[in-house]
Amino acid sequence: MTTVLTGRELRKSFGRTQALRGANVSVSGGEILAVMGPSGSGKSTLLHCLGGVLRPDSGEVAFGEVRLDRLADRERSRLRRTSFGFVFQFGQLVPELPVLENIALPLLLEGRARRAALAEAAEWAARLGLDGLWDRLPAELSGGQVQLAAIARALVARPRVVFADEPTGALDSVAADEVMELLVDTVRDHDAAMIIVTHEPRVAAFADRTLIVRDGLDVQPVGAR
């Protein structure tokens, strides 16, 4: 498998707090990677540095031949829209937009014609069981439906890497399993890579590999399928 994303010796501080102190991680195309560790260990900071949301204080993040840590903010934003997809714990849909427009948002922001973007969003909504909900606002959806819409939004631009930060934290175990199965199957179908931050062994079990972050200092492999 070809490595698509690599973080080397990543360091990031917030004031006097060192969130990352030399973390190393990589993920290949078609691979599902789980990142675990105690609260405050730097898991989410690592994810955000790898995804270009945060710039590390030092170290490097390479997406193929592109060094994310050297890109300007505008270039990193465009890369997040075109090559990366994000799923967060509570979906983080835009509350004023209906489901279909929320799903289409990455395409619309990239300048895709509205009709084409909504048509693409409708296909993803159908794949994830959201038929009949297109005109509903996020507040009118169940927690599981919000997560499905967030997954559709993350995948609509056919990203190379999907980042999921506690994607099932607000769901019961049955709904969590269903969401993870849909997410993993869809990612694999499109030969993307996925990095999941979780504290749940049940969620990590869906991954090919699991890494443990300890005090932001080291990332240690603990197993592989």
Whose CA is closest to 149, among 185, 188, 95, 202?
95
Q: Is 194 contained in some domain?
A: no
Q: Would the CA dihedral through 67, 69, 71, 77 be positive or negative?
A: positive
Q: Is 26 contained in some domain?
A: yes
Q: What is the pTM of this model?
A: 0.87
215 alpha-carbon distance from chain centroid: 22
Q: Is 40 contained in some domain?
A: yes
Rounded CA-CA distance 40/42 in Å is 6
Phi (first) and psi of residue 143, to 5 degrees: -60, -40
Q: Is 170 contained in some domain?
A: no
Which CATH number does the domain housing residue 36 bear? 3.40.50.300
pLDDT for 54: 93
User: 114: Cβ–Cβ under 8 A, 6 or more apart, which residues?
Assistant: 104, 108
Provide the angle, in degrees to the nearest 10, between the axes of the packed helices 114-127 and 99-109.
130
Q: Is 91 contained in some domain?
A: no
Residue 2 belongs to domain spanning:
1-83+199-225
Report the domain count for the chain.
1
pLDDT for 115: 95
Across the chain, which has 225 residues, the per-10-residue mean pLDDT values are 90 91 90 89 91 94 93 90 84 90 93 94 89 91 86 90 86 81 85 91 92 69 50
pLDDT for 224: 46
pLDDT for 219: 53
Contact between 104 and 123 under an 8 Å Cβ cutoff? The reply is: no
